Structure 1
Amino acid sequence: MTSYYDEIEIEDMDFDEDEQVYTYPCPCGDKFQIFLEELQDGEDIARCPSCSLIIRVIYDPDEFAGDDDETFQVEAPAVAVA
């Protein structure tokens, strides 16, 4: 069984659109990170690149399934053409 430093809601993490990565402050001074592609693949572990700590990211995988560019896509309302 894996031991997590903490479990963090995805809403509490920062998202960098340019890098497509979610981050969260680590006690060592660096940041835990998990890439959007990893979330789309069902991963839920964010790692700190500077130390051995890991966190579990709490999120709804269905909200990330099939998203290519944006985290949460909102469908445009249908427009009737006369």
Structure 2
Amino acid sequence: MTIFHDEIEIEDFEYDEDEEMYYYPCPCGDRFQISKEELAAGEEVATCPSCSLVVKVIYDLEKFNAETEEICKDNTEKEVLKA
């Protein structure tokens, strides 16, 4: 059983598009992190690489995957139009 330091809404995380990672400040000074791919797979535990704390990410998996698919579809259509 995992003991969470806190439960954080996905909206409170900062998203890095280049790395496709979500980040949230950790009390140790580093940042909790979880990838877009992990979230899409249903993972809900963000870890801090510098300490042992973990947080639970609160999000709707179905809504997250639907939004992700919509963004990917939009980006693909834009690339086709550029060609």
Give the TM-score of the pair, scaled to structure 2.
Answer: 0.78
The one-character-per-residue Cα deviations of 1:1-58 (angstroms, maximum 9, x if unpaired) are 2100000000111000000000000000000000000000000000000000000000
d(CA) in 2 for partners of 1:69 and 1:53? 33
Q: Indicate the structure with greater helix content.
A: 2
| Structure 2 residue aligned with 1:47 | 47
Say which one has the larger Rg.
1
1:63 Cα offset (Å): 1.8
Q: Structure 2, unaligned stretches of length 5 or more?
A: 75-83
In the alignment of these two chains, the number of paired residues is: 72
Q: Note the aligned Cα RMSD (angstroms).
A: 2.0
d(CA) in 1 for partners of 2:16 and 2:27? 20
* Cα 1:36/1:69, change in 2 over 3 Å: farther
| Structure 2 residue aligned with 1:17 | 17
The reply to whether residue 64 of structure 1 matches residue 64 of structure 2 is yes
| Structure 2 residue aligned with 1:35 | 35
Identity over aligned pairs, percent: 57
Once superposed, which parts of structure 1, at least 4 consecutive aligned residues long, lie more than 2 Å away?
64-71
Deviating more after overlay: 40-49 vs 62-71:
62-71
